[in-house]
Amino acid sequence: MAELRPRDPKGQREGFTTGACAAAAAKAAARVLARGAAVDAIETTLPNGQKVTFPLRRCDRDGPRATCSVIKDAGDDPDCTHGAELVAEVELRREPGVEIRGGAGVAVVTKPGLGLPVGAPAVNPVPRRNITEMVLEELEGSGFAGATVTLSVPQGEEMAKQTINARLGLIGGISILGTSGIVKPYSTAAFRASVVQAIDVAAERGIAALTLTTGGKSEAYAMKLYPELPEEAFIQVGDFIGTGVRHAARRRIARAIIVGMIGKLSKMADGKMMTHAAGSEVSMELLAQIAEELGARPEIAAEIRQANTARHVLELCQREGLTGVPGGICRRVVEHTSRHAGGALEVHACLVDFNGALLGRYPAGDAGAIGADRAEKAEEP
């Protein structure tokens, strides 16, 4: 097994998500069963399409079951799961399909609003799909059509105490996460510098309108909303929206369009210009107030105040037909970020759902540089 490299708190070395490590471990265990030989490393395909070879910490077979594990290397990110052992126990079956179960150290979902059924293991949709694809890849030509995969994380319950999992209703361990498979290090100075540099490049090219997004998925959705903008106009500011709007104003950019999902935009709507989970929380009180302004019944506002996550609030609003709430959030985002930028920047905001559909914008009648109809039809890439 390769030695785990020490982290540099100021470094920018990328690492791998828990989801990527779990998929690699599951793939290795499936290979052991399908081919009948132990392995010490496994090449896997990350959700972003990148191929990576992971060394294995463990590779055992016990009759019809095989167990393999991968040690998570989070790169230079200060992630509490750096060094965690992601264990996958796999048993093959003739019936098609891959069933994913949670073992010790993997959280169980106990509250709504997390995009997973209550009672299910906290294995997010992208890792689930990646695990399924990697296992089925190993079963081609083996005579087996499916598998049961049980994931576990020794010390996962202890690691979870350093997170807000329990508050969100994720009990008993950590979550298996990751949308790309890659962990980009959270280094305040380095990330802020990259945002400033990206805006400088756009300004030097004479780009008048920027889209500031909170991550890779929101950037992909923004590109669907504004396909006529050049690539340099799309800037991932991450949690540093304050840095983004201020520097855009400083470089005399005419317009900034903020595109994001409800969690990050709700924090901006509350005036938080640094939206990292460790430094800010979503205000359910603010979201309830917005709903009340749009005619929500008192009992619905009370339910929003007790909601588990911003995503849960969105589900409640959709259930009650409160379609104006996303636009109300966007209005407050524009107010706060415009003020933060010193009033020298025209700011627009778009709130998209988790599949990229546009739910609300401010100004309300504005679709940016493209037609409203086309913007409304943005779909998951």
In this prediction, residue 70 has a pLDDT band, given cuts at 50, 70 and 90, of very high
Tell me the range of 22-26, 79-83, 184-188, 213-217 where mean pLDDT is highest: 22-26
- Flag whether pLDDT at 211 surpasses 90: yes
Q: Confirm if 378 and 358 have CB atoms less than 8 A apart.
A: yes
For β-strands 234-236 and 255-260, DSSP reports them as unpaired
Contact 359, 326 (CB under 8 A): yes
Judge if the upstream peptide bond of residue 230 is cis by omega within 30 degrees of 0. Answer: no
Share of the chain above pLDDT 90, in %: 73
| pTM summary value | 0.71
Query: How confident is the model at residue 371, as a pLDDT?
Result: 32
For 247-277, the pLDDT digits (tens) are 999 999 999 999 999 999 999 999 998 877 6
CA 308/CA 165 separation, integer angstroms: 11
Share of the chain above pLDDT 70, in %: 92
Closest of 218, 225, 81, 98 to residue 163, by C-alpha: 81
pLDDT band at 235 (very low <50, low <70, confident <90, very high): very high
Tell me the pLDDT of the chain averaged across its residues.
89
pLDDT at 82 over 70: yes
Q: Could you tell me the domains of the chain?
A: 15-183 (3.30.2110.10), 188-376 (no CATH)
Q: Each residue of 152-202: pLDDT tens digit?
A: 999 999 999 988 788 778 999 999 998 889 987 765 566 777 788 889 889
Q: Which of 80-84, 155-159, 362-366 has the lowest mean pLDDT?
A: 362-366
Summarize the confidence of residues 114-129 as an average pLDDT: 93
Query: What is the per-residue pLDDT for 183?
Result: 86
Q: Which of 258, 272, 277, 282 is nearest to 330 (CA)?
A: 258
